[in-house]
Structures are given as structure tokens and as C-alpha cells.
Amino acid sequence: MDLEPFVFRRRAPMEASQATEPDADAAKAVNGFALRPLTPDEYAVFSLDLCHDQVDRHHSRFPTEELERISALTPGRPLMERHDLRGSLPRGTFFRSRVTAHSGRSVVRPDVYVLRTPENAGFILSIEGGVYRETSIGFAFRTPECSVCGKDLRTCDHVPGRSYSGEVCHYIMRDVLEVIEGSVVASGSQGTHFVSAASGVDDGSGRALPLDQALTVARNAYHRPIALETRRTWARE
């Protein structure tokens, strides 16, 4: 059985402290997305630690070989600001990304630029001031592989974070297809009110649910009984 790509949303810390002064390479990369050349004082640049290759607090892990692909898919994706049920406003654009070694692990670290418009002033200040510290990123993968049994996580009954014979189950995210978008959220916010859990789909500002909800929806879809329609034909005399 071929399953649809697994789409879900996860949090990533924002390295706002690494807000870098725009350099020549950044200016060139940013202007690859702008329709007219921007001067460095027209935008702010922030770095994000998007993901790494160790088991994280979401009980997920990227294989090291997937990181380069994620990094390559990130430039050009939008950075959104999530307000409320009205949805999200685009605030920035990821303009470059790299895989780098950090604390003994490999990390995907993209940079995003945010225009210094009057409308974005509060948004930039909220990042610089440490109020916005996390982003929530939507990914699509072909296969979330269970670390306990090696099957697609949607088709087995193992629960990420639960222990099986002394091994804590996690899932390995293989065959990344898409980085959907990044959304900035206030630190400590669960962000659940942005998602319509009842419908099992997103609120229209995106299409990725947090992992636990996405997994529940995917497993229910997988285990849904198949309805068979029986058609009877009268034999003609």
C-alpha cells in the first residue's frame, strides 16, 4: 500500500542572538529574491536552527543524509507570523541555508531576511527582544520510519516517546519532499489554537499539524475500514 506523504509541523529554536549584520554574500543572496536591488539597511537577517540529526524532544530524528536535502529546499520558503484564527502574514523569506557542525551534531541553519517596513518593525523587535524565540516549521516526508520495528510509523502501533524493552521509540524522517513554510510563534505558546484539530486539516494558513495530531489522523486514515460496494447483476434468462 502506498501512503501519502506524511505532513506535520514541528518547532525549531530561533537563534535570534545570531542576528547577523548583512554581509556581501547575504546581500547577493537576498537580491536573488528581490525584484529590485535592496540595500542592507532595508532588511534584517536572522538565523534559525531548523533541525539536526539527533533524536530531539519531539522523538524524531533526521538521518544525516537528509539534512543537505532539507537545506537545499529551504531558500525561497516564507517565514510567517501567526497571529490568531485570522491566519498568518508573510514576514520574511529564507534566502540561504547551510549544513553546519554544532555541538557534535550536524545542523541545518538557514538565514531569513525581513524587510524593515513600518509594518515589520514590531515583528523584528519581537525577535531581537527575545519574545519570538521559536519557529514552527511544516515538513512533508515520504516515510516516518519507526525506530522499534522499522515500519512506517502510521502502520504500526508504537508510540514515539514510549519505551519498548528499554528502547525509547522515535521516528526517523526519510525522503523529505518539501519544506512548507516557517511560522514564528511566541515562546511557550503551544500554537494549538491555530490549528483546526477537529477537521484534521490546517486552518488555511498552512497544511501541517503538530506531530501527535498528524499521526493520529494518518493512523485513523490507514486503519479505516475499506467500504466495499457489492453489485449484483441479475442473470438474464
Name the site residues for Zn ion (rule: CB under 5 A): 146, 148-149, 156, 158
Backbone angles phi, psi at 218, to 5 degrees: -65, -40
Backbone angles phi, psi at 128, to 5 degrees: -60, -35
CB of 98 or CB of 151, closer to Zn ion: 151
Q: Which of these, 12, 10, 15, lies nearest to 130 by C-alpha position?
A: 15
Burial of residue 54 (CB within 10 Å: 0-12, 13-18, 19+) is middle
Asked if 209 and 192 count as a contact pair (C-beta separation under 8 A), the reply is: no
CB of 127 or CB of 146, closer to Zn ion: 146
CB of 91 or CB of 154, closer to Zn ion: 154
CB of 148 or CB of 185, closer to Zn ion: 148
Give min distance, CB of 160 to Zn ion, in A. Answer: 9
CB of 19 or CB of 156, closer to Zn ion: 156
Give min distance, CB of 222 to Zn ion, in A. Answer: 13
Q: What is the DSSP letter of 51?
A: E
Give min distance, CB of 165 to Zn ion, in A. Answer: 12
- 3-class DSSP state for residue 217? helix
Backbone angles phi, psi at 34, to 5 degrees: -85, 150
C-alpha separations of 140 from 25, 32, 78 in Å: 29, 25, 16
Give min distance, CB of 147 to Zn ion, in A. Answer: 8
Q: Report the alpha-carbon distance of residue 158 to residue 149 in Å, rounded.
A: 8
CB of 171 or CB of 194, closer to Zn ion: 171
Give min distance, CB of 139 to Zn ion, in A. Answer: 20
Give min distance, CB of 151 to Zn ion, in A. Answer: 5
Triad 8, 9, 14: Cα angle to 5°: 155
